[in-house]
């Protein structure tokens, strides 16, 4: 016979719309109003509320950890032999036409805004997907768009 034990309840500031587990003790909760709440599980405390998509009243629709090793997305060269300093996180809101990239520093568990990517998706972004090391796909019920991150300097040199 299985037994279910109710463990904790968090009192969120807004209705939850998306979850992302940082590690065993840290949880990011996307909420209505374009906010992300950072909760510590063991003591049930909200460490910080990020105004992730201030232009949106709708909920956070995606919190995605990117695995890209590309310097174009990470902003610095990737060294597979060095310890990771941060995770790259992408977020979107159903009420916003842009998605954002964040650096989640592993030592401090603090989320830092990194890039804001404007799109032509006018009805908000519901889904995000990392399709390659330099491509992110954004979509809603009406459209799917592919966004390539390219090195303009290299592109200009190869086109000459």
How close are the terminal C-alpha atoms of the chain, in Å? 71
What pTM, to 2 d.p., does this model score? 0.87
CATH (residue range 16-159): 2.130.10.10
Sketch the domain layout of the chain as residue ranges. Answer: 16-159
Angle CA 112–47–45, to nearest 5? 155
pLDDT, one tens digit per residue, over 5-53 is 767 788 888 899 999 999 999 999 999 999 999 999 999 999 999 999 9
pLDDT, one tens digit per residue, over 57-70 is 899 999 999 999 99
């Amino acid at each position: 016979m299985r037994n279910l034990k109710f463990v904790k309840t968090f009192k969120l500031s807004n209705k939850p719309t998306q979850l992302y587990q940082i590690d065993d003790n840290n949880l990011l909760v996307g909420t209505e109003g374009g906010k992300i709440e950072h909760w510590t599980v063991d003591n049930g405390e909200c460490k910080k509320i990020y105004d992730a998509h201030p232009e949106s009243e709708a909920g956070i629709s995606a919190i995605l950890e990117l695995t890209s090793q590309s310097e174009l997305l990470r902003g610095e060269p990737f060294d597979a032999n060095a310890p990771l300093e941060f995770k790259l996180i992408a977020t979107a809101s159903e009420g916003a036409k842009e998605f954002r990239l964040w650096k989640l520093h592993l030592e401090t568990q603090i989320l830092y805004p990194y890039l804001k990517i404007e799109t032509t998706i006018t009805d908000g972004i519901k889904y995000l997907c990392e399709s390659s090391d330099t491509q992110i796909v954004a979509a809603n019920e009406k459209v799917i768009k592919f966004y390539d991150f390219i090195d303009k300097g290299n592109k200009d040199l190869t086109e000459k």
